[in-house]
Structure 1
Amino acid sequence: MHHTFIDTNGIRLHVVQDGPADGPLVILLHGFPEFWYGWYRQISELAKAGYWVWAPDQRGYNLSDKPQNLASYSIDTLAADIIGLIDAARRQKAVVVGHDWGAAVAWWTAVVYPERLERLVVLNVPHPVVMKRFASRNLEQMLRSWYIGFFQLPKLPERLLARNNYRLLVKTLLGSSRPGTFTRADLEQYKTAWSQPGALMAMINWYRALWRSPESRQKSIRVKVPTLLIWGAQDHFLMQEMATFSIDLCDNGRLLLLQKATHWVQHEEANRVLEGIKGEVTI
């Protein structure tokens, strides 16, 4: 794997690259509270299959730039970051893959820039419009998303998450995943990323910008590019019903439901996710 820094959309992102530079471009977008390392089970295998893999630390995470103002974390800005990466690769299109917040960015990139995506693969996060609808109107999802409201508070979330060597974040990862999903070595990698100066505040600012810097109005919220939504049915945070509503917003969408997987599906079902990214998945 090659570590580099890419200038895009007015900031600099740390990007891990692997595979042949003349292969199909795949961009892997992590979510909260991960960083590029969340894809380590897929990066090398995709490279072996001939793909040129780019796995960035998204803005605010790990070694990438961490703007301080909330507007810098709007979904429109985050999507523009990805277009900047495709431009930096000197490509017209890419396969864009996202998990958690990375999935939200991938969805919105497909809505706003459909001509720049070859395919879309999203893991365990619904279309942003579906998420906003459920998070504001569905009581069960509102209860599951309680932390979004908590993250709107100033300074307190950062202090609590950093306490006792990031105990709360570690507990969240271990408590919401299948036993053995995250090893002690994995957790040390995450702690190093979380301890980067300004990282915790920037990571939480994604949630703060969710309501204060909403997405731009689009003529259509439909997804026109071929889409695969992979969903772990044991997700503690997000209701499975949102997956079906999201596929309904796709012109060419398929849903792969993995009954035994949790929210951390790319870790627990690494091979199935790999097949999905390569376009070889069977449903």
Structure 2
Amino acid sequence: MAYPVEHQQVPTNGLQLHVAQSGPAAGPLVLLLHGFPEGWHAWRYQMGPLAQAGFRVWAPDQRGYNLSDKPHHVQDYTIDKLAADVLGLMDATGAQTAAVVGHDWGAAVAWYLAAHYPARIHRAAVLNVPHPQVLAQALRNNPRQFAKSWYVFFFQLPWLPEGLARLRNWWAARQAMQRTSADGVFSHQDLEAYRDAWNQPRAMRSMINWYRAAGRFVGRLSKTGRVKVPMHIIWGENDAFLEADLARQSLQLCDAGRLTYLPSSHWVQHEMPDEVNALLLNFLK
């Protein structure tokens, strides 16, 4: 059965988040958490298969993105607040527990939730972002990873990153996605959808504030502890931003973890959707 994708504004944690929803209302809840610089559209290839498998799928625009609320201050984007948004979405559905799947920054939120709220997150899958402790150590001790993460430090500057991103109709942002993915992964229609999202008032500043909050309040993110719930790390091994071995190191912080490498870029769920969907369905069932 094919389920439509419905769009709702959902109150959570003092905000309104736009959420794309699909699947049977009584199905087990799966939350799909996007990364930078995307939005719910990042999961366009996953929502249908998960819904058809019987899951209730919610893919929010996380705070600061697209059609969701955009708080003004950097401290509004600390990891504990991002996680509280997701717990609030669960409360809005009436679900006591859920599975979370995250890519990029959404994976960082998933790591935090799985480590801190095992009574509510019964399993989690993360795509191409390591455990926060592993990444912090790599930034200190791995020169290759430090060089790959140059943009994280650039984003700490005020005003300049979002100003440059906007030039020539978001040329730099579009090029960053296209040059770090396989040819044709992001279609013209995809990039138009992202440009519409980036053009929302205060959107790019809010999106970059996730990085600024991580830099200014690094202790909150680095306190992410060991993960006891089942965890599946799915990793595109040709990631331009992150060293592939960070996934293997992250696995050591999981009590019940598994790791799958795929011959893909950082944008693994776009580039290899069938393979990612099969892995998720097998894990979530």
Q: Percent identity?
A: 52
**Which amino acid in structure 1 is aligned with residue 188 of structure 2?**
R
1:58 CA drift (Å): 0.3
- Which of 77, 84, 90 is 1:80 aligned to? 84
Q: Residue 279 of structure 1 aligns to a residue in which SS?
A: helix
1:17 CA drift (Å): 0.3
Matches within 5 A, 1:97-108: 97-108=101-112
The change in CA–CA distance for 1:219 and 1:201 in structure 2 (over 3 A counts) is closer
Whole-Å separation in 1 of the counterparts to 2:122 and 2:55: 13
Whole-Å separation in 2 of the counterparts to 1:152 and 1:217: 16
Whole-Å separation in 2 of the counterparts to 1:228 and 1:217: 20
Where structure 1 has 5 or more consecutive residues not aligned to the other structure, the ranges are none
Q: Which residue number corresponds to residue 262 of structure 1?
A: 265
The change in CA–CA distance for 1:54 and 1:139 in structure 2 (over 3 A counts) is same
Pair 1:89 & 2:102 matched: no
Query: Any conservation in 2 of the 1:75–1:214 contact (CA below 8 Å)?
Result: no
Pair 1:116 & 2:115 matched: no
Whole-Å separation in 2 of the counterparts to 1:85 and 1:105: 14
Q: Residue 115 of structure 1 aligns to a residue in which SS?
A: coil
- Which of 130, 154, 161 is 2:158 aligned to? 154
Where structure 2 has 5 or more consecutive residues not aligned to the other structure, the ranges are none
- Which of 143, 147, 150 is 1:139 aligned to? 143
Matches within 5 A, 1:222-241: 222-241=226-245
Q: Which residue number corresponds to residue 174 of structure 1?
A: 178
Q: Which residue number corresponds to residue 33 of structure 2?
A: 29
Which stretch has the larger CA shift, 124-133 or 27-36?
Answer: 124-133
The change in CA–CA distance for 1:220 and 1:28 in structure 2 (over 3 A counts) is closer
Query: Any conservation in 2 of the 1:70–1:213 contact (CA below 8 Å)?
Result: no
Matches within 5 A, 1:210-221: 210-216=214-220, 221=225
Q: Residue 234 of structure 1 aligns to a residue in which SS?
A: coil
Q: Residue 114 of structure 1 aligns to a residue in which SS?
A: coil
**Which amino acid in structure 1 is aligned with residue 282 of structure 2?**
G
- Which of 29, 51, 57 is 1:47 aligned to? 51
- Which of 251, 256, 272 is 2:255 aligned to? 251
1:272 CA drift (Å): 1.7
Whole-Å separation in 2 of the counterparts to 1:32 and 1:218: 19
- Which of 168, 179, 186 is 1:164 aligned to? 168
1:72 CA drift (Å): 0.9
- Which of 7, 13, 19 is 2:17 aligned to? 13
Q: Which residue number corresponds to residue 273 of structure 1?
A: 276
Q: How many residues align?
A: 280
Query: Any conservation in 2 of the 1:158–1:201 contact (CA below 8 Å)?
Result: yes
TM-score by length of 2: 0.95
Query: Any conservation in 2 of the 1:5–1:14 contact (CA below 8 Å)?
Result: yes
1:180 CA drift (Å): 1.0
Whole-Å separation in 2 of the counterparts to 1:222 and 1:211: 22
The root-mean-square deviation of aligned C-alpha atoms, in Å, is 1.4
1:215 CA drift (Å): 4.4
1:216 CA drift (Å): 3.4
**Which amino acid in structure 1 is aligned with residue 238 of structure 2?**
Q
- Which of 205, 208, 228 is 1:204 aligned to? 208
Whole-Å separation in 2 of the counterparts to 1:149 and 1:137: 16
**Which amino acid in structure 1 is aligned with residue 268 of structure 2?**
V
Q: Which residue number corresponds to residue 183 of structure 1?
A: 187
**Which amino acid in structure 2 is aligned with residue 271 of structure 1?**
D
**Which amino acid in structure 2 is aligned with residue 4 of structure 1?**
Q
1:137 CA drift (Å): 2.3
The change in CA–CA distance for 1:17 and 1:220 in structure 2 (over 3 A counts) is closer
- Which of 61, 67, 76 is 1:63 aligned to? 67
Query: Any conservation in 1 of the 2:232–2:283 contact (CA below 8 Å)?
Result: no
1:279 CA drift (Å): 2.4
Whole-Å separation in 2 of the counterparts to 1:59 and 1:189: 18
**1:95-119 deviation per Cα after TM superposition (whole angstroms, max 9, x unaligned):** 1000000000000011111111121
**1:118-169 deviation per Cα after TM superposition (whole angstroms, max 9, x unaligned):** 2100000001111111123211101000001110111110110000000000
